[in-house]
Amino acid sequence: MGSTYGKIFKIATFGESHGVGIGVVIEGCPAGVNFDSDFIQSELTRRKPGQSRITTQRKEADEFEVLSGVFEGKTTGTPIAMVIRNEDQRSKDYSHIAAQFRPSHADYTYQVKYGVRDYRGGGRSSARETAARVAAGALAKLMLAELGVSIQAYVSQVGTMKLEKSYQELDLSETENNAVRCPDPTMAQQMFDYIDGIRKQGDSIGGVVNCVVKGTPAGWGEPVFDKLHAELGKAMLSINAVKGFEYGSGFDGVLLPGSQHNDAFYTDETGNVHTRTNHSGGIQGGISNGEDIYFRTAFKPVATIMQDQESVDQFGNVAIVQGKGRHDPCVVPRAVPIVEAMTALVLADFYLRNRSAKL
Amino acid sequence: MGSTYGKIFKIATFGESHGVGIGVVIEGCPAGVNFDSDFIQSELTRRKPGQSRITTQRKEADEFEVLSGVFEGKTTGTPIAMVIRNEDQRSKDYSHIAAQFRPSHADYTYQVKYGVRDYRGGGRSSARETAARVAAGALAKLMLAELGVSIQAYVSQVGTMKLEKSYQELDLSETENNAVRCPDPTMAQQMFDYIDGIRKQGDSIGGVVNCVVKGTPAGWGEPVFDKLHAELGKAMLSINAVKGFEYGSGFDGVLLPGSQHNDAFYTDETGNVHTRTNHSGGIQGGISNGEDIYFRTAFKPVATIMQDQESVDQFGNVAIVQGKGRHDPCVVPRAVPIVEAMTALVLADFYLRNRSAKL
Amino acid sequence: MGSTYGKIFKIATFGESHGVGIGVVIEGCPAGVNFDSDFIQSELTRRKPGQSRITTQRKEADEFEVLSGVFEGKTTGTPIAMVIRNEDQRSKDYSHIAAQFRPSHADYTYQVKYGVRDYRGGGRSSARETAARVAAGALAKLMLAELGVSIQAYVSQVGTMKLEKSYQELDLSETENNAVRCPDPTMAQQMFDYIDGIRKQGDSIGGVVNCVVKGTPAGWGEPVFDKLHAELGKAMLSINAVKGFEYGSGFDGVLLPGSQHNDAFYTDETGNVHTRTNHSGGIQGGISNGEDIYFRTAFKPVATIMQDQESVDQFGNVAIVQGKGRHDPCVVPRAVPIVEAMTALVLADFYLRNRSAKL
Amino acid sequence: MGSTYGKIFKIATFGESHGVGIGVVIEGCPAGVNFDSDFIQSELTRRKPGQSRITTQRKEADEFEVLSGVFEGKTTGTPIAMVIRNEDQRSKDYSHIAAQFRPSHADYTYQVKYGVRDYRGGGRSSARETAARVAAGALAKLMLAELGVSIQAYVSQVGTMKLEKSYQELDLSETENNAVRCPDPTMAQQMFDYIDGIRKQGDSIGGVVNCVVKGTPAGWGEPVFDKLHAELGKAMLSINAVKGFEYGSGFDGVLLPGSQHNDAFYTDETGNVHTRTNHSGGIQGGISNGEDIYFRTAFKPVATIMQDQESVDQFGNVAIVQGKGRHDPCVVPRAVPIVEAMTALVLADFYLRNRSAKL
């Protein structure tokens, strides 16, 4: 009951880590959007495993097939189904954990909730499910691009290593030039080495992904519950391993008095209203105000590590979960396109919802 | 298009700050819940303005009337409508800002989105709307109480003053004994004096509200988009002035390696599965695991201050927004029952949704 | 869980026959619609009881109060709440049936479903609930009128008395000139006398309401499940006492071969595409084609009659349900504005949904 | 925006007649349902074309593949995706109608609504889409069977040939023994010959499908908008070519006075409450009462005929639509499993929704 997202631009994802495949049905995408298959594939490639030695060595081409909703290169307004078949299933790797509850995974909670679970690679709870989001998000990005909206995420922190510069001080076009997806090349190299060290220890580490959206017109977002930042927060928190979300001034906004935190309005030379500062993060009253939208998403260390861990099995007996197989020592580099995809899905939906604001 | 919340236990709120009144329709509350009017009123009273000199002096009794859905003291399974009439409207206070955009308020974004707005007291964007949430949340709390679930929020930070103790080290029953709603009496007094100082300067300050949920059984939450913490995050971020949300280890979870962050499972003497630590915050894979659920919500300083501010009006002209009227120098004490109410609404919905998990 | 209707122009109704009142919250009405209170009141007056001796003598002024969402005579894009208080409650009339299940009423099914019920006047299952629909539908009509769409329903059959003329052969402006709401004055008088005879026998009789929509542009309706006629059908069938729905050629369409049933397209002198016949009832593939939309809705005789009837009580004992109180001998005259209201709600929603069909 | 159905047991269908394939994602099916692939395939086979000379000669094996949500023969509570690939596409058959609007098809309305359309075989508007419904409905049937609910539909009318017997007078187990799916063998043969005659003329004819549901417990259905019969009506009307729906006494219920139409309650020897007659069609106040549910659905003659027809093309020019290709002279035999499937989907959803009726 929770595998759909969106009110108008709406997606339904499906699939398990080691089943036949994963995929998504997108309903509510307007007719007439250019369906650029190469772009969608390139987004999936940004997310796929095995990109460098600091990501999992699982091998998946992550090639998608379109089943419906596209005709002569354009969306037709009917549902668009995309499927990505699983290749590197290696189910045997998981037989030893069939009855075990891996610490800080979803094994235990799925078992209690459903009474049954596909234990192979985490089944539905695997981060593999996010490939379907990236495919759908890529289409949302294509639609948003036609509206002048661009989304750029990047890694700003790995463990204790934190980029202190704001996004304005960075050259975000550098992001894709390194395996960590940190736009500061020096920091990127340090992060890479740090993650590689973690990997060698068979351990894992978390991080923070920042995201900046430019070009959103004022008016997107729906008060009072579906505030733009509330949906962005939900969308980010729905990504595996996410523990926190903040936008604009965020948790640090607590520290400032209102007289410093308030963003003064002014009219620029072209007659457009802007704010002098942007503690609001581009959103006021839950509605975009035309300034840059920016937010930060915190990822915990992934639960799969190459070390033995104490746990229990389905019968309540003590069990030692052994560290074998493949793992991502740090998930944030691959999380960058996922953050962007979810952001695109949120914005695409609000763009369409906003069409009904006025008569 | 965003004034409803929930899938089964579903609320629709309505009303503006200075209109006739505000209210809520609750649909999907099961039949047979004890409708304790006194409790609902007491929750509204916790939220209402004018409780001490550090909250706004606006006078509202915030008495509610039930229009439907209750018969002989029990819910009947039909929609429950509750209305709270506005008393202290003082519309004249707002005439001077009819055409002005107050900095960091929703005036500008509502104007662009809808082309029209009820400028009196912020209209729909006023935090007054949260009274309807508290009424609905009180009913959700009553239902949850019958299931053994309790929710306790408290103020953990105001500006730079931060309570360093974890919730386990605090006596949460102290929370309601002071105007700040901080369970540490010493810190509470310091915070009170600090806020009172801010008030005297005509300024405002933000803060953090922590929330702890005890007694949630394992199994609540719906993967993959409607993860329990994702809905909690959305619910918190939908409250006025909220800038950030984190649960369990939160942003600090980034700092730990997986080997320390993972929560080892064990079986207790009664045969129940528990975790030795709780970095997961009681939620794994988006589903409750039976441990305490805890999270933190950051509130910015409220935008209304008693100082003159630079801005523009609807015509793009420079305007000085004057600081007059009444304001909350710090919103977090009154936010405590709102955080609890939204938490209750999230949990009530997931309780019902989980009824369909198994055949 | 079923008291909301619509995806974008969305209503939530509440209230019971003998509680405090009934009402509706409309969410998703665009900002800028003229809120003509007099028109809304006049629609409620068309539905209210006591209009003539062939309708129930229950006395209700059915005056509504707006609580929110309207400012300076226009909708603001925020939720609009309207409440109608119950006046003529006479709860004592119903004490004798508190434990009885009235034949063909909802007493038994509510009792089984919810385990509790407000037995006074049928509680939530009373047709009184439709007043809330009429209020909301009146606002939808106001919006549609600005788009050139008009809706006219009328009584075409009462018991065995059936108007054989098509709507094109009738002067629909006559409909409101008689108590039956049949546009043929001669037939109207015959129907009136017939119903009055039924009334004197303490019995009831059913009828058929036809509805015609003019001015709908091509493009409204959403394949494949939310076809325009499927939603119209659901909307009509959701009205108390409705047993059947057909549109265009309806059940008689079964009799014709495709070569006669198909509606040939042609281009008129202004270049617009039309069909030469309209067996399609203005809807093809679930989407309006610009021709008149027309459909028929069948109402059974109302279950309340002034005769004693065999039944059982809550404990399974035999009980005689006595015929006393007030009743509508024939519901269709008062159903006319309800059919129009539900039609307006369906169309208003599809108008807004269609705004997202193309990029 | 209309390709999903259901609130809890929820389906999203996709696919076009001549694209890669069609399919469905089922979300909200509880964990633990036996996933009987053979049964699902047999239901698809009942619907597939080419079963006899009175159905279209299009060749489709209609074999389905499960992509997710099933593990070791049971549903897991996660989304179930099923895909049916198109085989007999013959796109060239349709090139001559690329720019034409076929009379009483959805060509014109799709073109206006979306500005683009997949003209091959009707694209999304093709009845081929219903195969996805049958696959999903088969799973719903499997779940309902575990609850003791059975659904049986049959053909009761073709053109003017009408079975006058009620369902109680028929042996419904005969239904699948003839190509028409009429349970009266004599009438079935007459209908077959009649349809075959229509086929030879290159024409088409409509019909009526009756449906009977046994074993539904009292309590399913959600007042006031989502009445059980309202959802059944919508579900039926959403099937291609449907023009009318009636349940219980239906349109004929108009003719009876309330004193005859009302269904008297009695308690049987086992203490269960029943009604002596069943004009209510097993539904009172929108909620099942435990009696048999029965209803009738009218299908128009299919629009595709093997005769030349006057029409226009996309540019408004006169065009002659030529009758070539393949067609169903009468759709009702193949509609029987579709009616059953949609009924199953409605009931499965209400079963789950009803789990939240009481605390």
**D4-354 has which CATH code?**
3.60.150.10
Q: pLDDT tens, A304-343?
A: 999 999 999 999 899 999 887 778 899 999 999 999 999 9
**Shortest alpha-carbon distance between residue B320 and chain C (Å):** 25
3-class state of residue A287 by DSSP: strand
- Measured distance CA(A203)–CA(A106) in Å, rounded: 19
pLDDT at residue A64 is higher than 80:
yes
Contact assessment for residue D243 and residue D249, using Cβ atoms and an 8 Å cutoff: no
> What are the phi and psi torsion angles at B193 (to 5°)?
-65, -40
* DSSP sequence for D295-330: EEEEEPPPS--SS-EEEEBTTS-EEEE---S---SB
What's the pLDDT at C31? 98
Chain D contacts of C243, Cβ < 8 Å? 246-251, 253-254, 281
Task: Say which DSSP state B217 is in.
Answer: P
Residue numbers in the known binding site of C are: 47, 53, 124-126, 240-241, 285, 300-304, 326
Sorting pLDDT into bands at 50, 70 and 90, what band is D52? confident
Chain B contacts of C355, Cβ < 8 Å? none
Cβ-based contacts under 8 A for chains A and C: 42
- Measured distance CA(D18)–CA(A71) in Å, rounded: 11
**Shortest alpha-carbon distance between residue C193 and chain B (Å):** 38
Chain B residue nearest residue A116, CA to CA? B358
What's the pLDDT at C328? 87
Mean pLDDT of chain A: 95
What's the pLDDT at D310? 92
Average pLDDT score over residue span D197-225 = 97
Which secondary-structure segment (H or E) carries D148?
A: none
What's the pLDDT at A340? 98
Show the tokens assigned to C270. 């202004």
Task: Give the residue, C92 or A277, on which the prediction is more confident.
Answer: A277
Please list, in sequence order, all residues whose beta carbon lies within 8 angstroms of the beta carbon of residue C347, skipping any fewer than 6 positions away: C140, C144, C149, C151, C213, C216, C220
What's the pLDDT at D56? 77
Does the beta-carbon distance from C243 to D253 stay under 8 Å? yes
Nearest Cβ partner for B28 among D143, D146, D356: D356
Q: pLDDT tens, D322-351?
A: 887 778 899 999 999 999 999 999 999 999
Q: Within an 8 Å CB–CB cutoff, is residue C197 touching chain D? A: no
pLDDT at residue C92 is higher than 80:
no
Let me know the angle formed at the C-alpha of D289 by D283 and D291, rounded to the nearest 5 degrees: 90
pLDDT at residue D106 is higher than 90:
yes
Chain centre distance of CA C253: 24
Q: pLDDT tens, B344-356?
A: 999 999 999 999 9
- Measured distance CA(D80)–CA(D27) in Å, rounded: 7
Tell which A residues from 8 to 67 touch D, by Cβ distance under 8 Å: 8, 10, 12-16, 19-23, 25, 27-28, 31-32, 65-67
pLDDT at residue C90 is higher than 60:
no
Contact assessment for residue C338 and residue C237, using Cβ atoms and an 8 Å cutoff: no
Chain C residue nearest residue B7, CA to CA? C1
**Shortest alpha-carbon distance between residue D1 and chain A (Å):** 5
Cβ-based contacts under 8 A for chains A and B: 373
Does the beta-carbon distance from D81 to A15 stay under 8 Å? yes
Chain centre distance of CA C92: 29
Contact assessment for residue A279 and residue A263, using Cβ atoms and an 8 Å cutoff: yes
Mutation target among D4, D20, D24, D25 for the A interface, most CBs of A within 10 A = D25
Chain A residue nearest residue D119, CA to CA? A71
What's the pLDDT at D55? 80
CA trace torsion B13, B17, B22, B28 (10° rounding): 20
Q: Within an 8 Å CB–CB cutoff, is residue A107 touching chain D? A: no
Chain C contacts of A8, Cβ < 8 Å? 356
**Shortest alpha-carbon distance between residue A147 and chain C (Å):** 10
Tell which A residues from 298 to 327 touch C, by Cβ distance under 8 Å: none
pLDDT at residue B261 is higher than 80:
yes
Does the annotation place D181 within a ligand binding site? no
CA-wise closest residue to D49 among D238, D284, D354, D329: D329
3-class state of residue B226 by DSSP: strand
pLDDT at residue D131 is higher than 90:
yes
**Which value does ipTM take for this structure?**
0.97
Average pLDDT score over residue span C214-226 = 98
Average pLDDT score over residue span B257-267 = 97
Average pLDDT score over residue span D131-136 = 98
Nearest Cβ partner for B67 among C8, C19, C76: C19
Residues facing A202 on adjacent strands: none
Cβ-based contacts under 8 A for chains A and D: 151
Residue numbers in the known binding site of B for FMN are: 124-126, 240-241, 285, 300-304, 326
Does the beta-carbon distance from A356 to C30 stay under 8 Å? yes
Tell which B residues from 132 to 151 touch A, by Cβ distance under 8 Å: none
> What are the phi and psi torsion angles at C182 (to 5°)?
-110, 125
For residue A354, what are the CA distances in angstroms to B14, C30, C242, D295?
19, 10, 36, 41
What's the pLDDT at C170? 98
Sorting pLDDT into bands at 50, 70 and 90, what band is A136? very high
Average pLDDT score over residue span D69-86 = 97
Does the annotation place A300 within a ligand binding site? yes
Average pLDDT score over residue span C7-35 = 97
Mean pLDDT of chain D: 95
Which secondary-structure segment (H or E) carries A221?
A: none
CB atoms within 10 A of CB D269: 5
- Measured distance CA(C318)–CA(D268) in Å, rounded: 11
Residue numbers in the known binding site of B for NADP(+) are: 47, 53
Strand boundaries in chain A, DSSP class E:
4-5, 10-15, 21-27, 64-66, 70-71, 74-75, 80-85, 150-158, 161-162, 207-214, 242-247, 265-267, 273-275, 283-284, 287-288, 293-299, 309-312, 318-321
- Measured distance CA(B182)–CA(B333) in Å, rounded: 8
Q: Within an 8 Å CB–CB cutoff, is residue B219 touching chain D? A: no
Q: Within an 8 Å CB–CB cutoff, is residue D99 touching chain A? A: no
Average pLDDT score over residue span D28-39 = 98
Q: pLDDT tens, A209-265?
A: 999 999 999 999 999 999 999 999 999 999 999 999 999 999 999 999 999 999 999
What's the pLDDT at A95? 73
CB atoms within 10 A of CB D313: 18
- Cis? peptide before A224, omega within 30° of 0: yes
What's the pLDDT at C289? 98
Sorting pLDDT into bands at 50, 70 and 90, what band is B56? confident
- In Å, the largest CA–CA distance within chain A is 71
For residue D149, what are the CA distances in angstroms to B152, C132, D146, D221, D293?
45, 35, 8, 15, 11
- In Å, the largest CA–CA distance within chain D is 71
Q: pLDDT tens, C307-344?
A: 999 999 999 899 999 887 778 899 999 999 999 999 99
What's the pLDDT at B276? 97
Task: Give the residue, D112 or D58, on which the prediction is more confident.
Answer: D112
Handedness of CA C215, C217, C219, C220 (dihedral sign): negative
* DSSP sequence for C35-102: --HHHHHHHHHHHSS-SSTTS--------EEE-SSEETTEE-SS-EEEEEE-----GGGGGGGTTB--
CA-wise closest residue to D279 among D321, D326, D229: D229
Does the annotation place D53 within a ligand binding site? yes
**Shortest alpha-carbon distance between residue A126 and chain D (Å):** 12
Task: Say which DSSP state A260 is in.
Answer: H
What's the pLDDT at D112? 97
Instruction: Locate the domains of chain B by residue range.
Output: 4-356
Contact assessment for residue B9 and residue B352, using Cβ atoms and an 8 Å cutoff: yes
**Shortest alpha-carbon distance between residue D34 and chain C (Å):** 27
Q: Domain B4-356 in CATH: superfamily?
A: Chorismate synthase AroC (3.60.150.10)
Nearest Cβ partner for A68 among D20, D28, D114: D20
Contact assessment for residue A346 and residue A138, using Cβ atoms and an 8 Å cutoff: no
Place of tokens 């379109």: A66
Average pLDDT score over residue span B100-105 = 94
Does the beta-carbon distance from D66 to A20 stay under 8 Å? yes
Q: pLDDT tens, C102-156?
A: 999 999 999 999 999 998 888 999 999 999 999 999 999 999 999 999 999 999 9
Sorting pLDDT into bands at 50, 70 and 90, what band is C93? low
**Shortest alpha-carbon distance between residue C135 and chain D (Å):** 16
